[in-house]
Amino acid sequence: MGTIFVGDGLLAIAFLAAVMYLIQENQIKRKRLGAIYSRLPSLATLDQINYYAILYGFPFLTIGMITGSVYAQYALGSYWRWDPKEVWSLISWLFYAALLHERLAVGWQGRRAAVMSIVCFLVLIFTFIGVSLLMGGYHSFSSLEAP
Partner 1 sequence: MERLINIGMTHETAPVAIRECLATDADNVTRVLTYMRDHKAINEGLFVSTCNRVETLFTSDEPGEAKAAVIAFISDLAGMTSDAFRTSLFTLEGVEAARHIFQVASSLDSMVIGEPQILGQIKEAYHHATRARTSGVILNRLMHRAFHVAKRVRSETGISSAAVSISYAAVELAKKIFHNLEGKKALLIGAGEMAELAARNLLSNGVSAMAVANRTFERALRVAELFNAKAVSFEEIGYQLGEVDIVITSTAATGYVITRSQVKDVLRKRRNRPLFFIDIAVPRDVEPVVNDLHNVYVYDIDDLKGVIEVNMAQRQEEAVKAQRIVDEEVVKFEKWIKTLSVVPTIVALRNKAETIVQSELKRSRSALGNLTEAQQMVVETLTRSAVEKVLNDPILFLKGRADRPTLNAYLDTTKRLFGLNSDKGDGH
Closest CA to 23 of 9, 3, 10, 39: 39
The answer to whether the beta carbons of residues 108 and 102 sit under 8 Å apart is yes
- The answer to whether 45 contacts partner 1 (rule: CB under 8 A) is yes
Q: Which of 22, 23, 68, 110 binds partner 1 (CB under 8 A)?
A: 110
CB of 113 to partner 1, least distance (A): 8
Looking at the Cβ atoms of 24 and 127, the one nearer to partner 1 is: 24
Among 9, 26, 44, 98, binds partner 1 (CB under 8 A): 44
Burial 68-107 (b: 16+ CB within 10 A, else e): bbeebeeeeeeeeeebbbbebbeebbebbeebbeebeeee
The only residue of 106, 141, 144, 146 in contact with partner 1, by rule CB under 8 A: 106
104 binds partner 1, rule: CB under 8 A: no
Q: Which stretch binds partner 1 (CB under 8 A): 76-84, 90-98, 100-108, 130-138?
A: 100-108
Neighbours of 7 (CB within 10 A): 23
Return residues touching partner 1 (CB under 8 A). Answer: 24, 28-29, 31, 33-34, 37, 41-45, 106-113
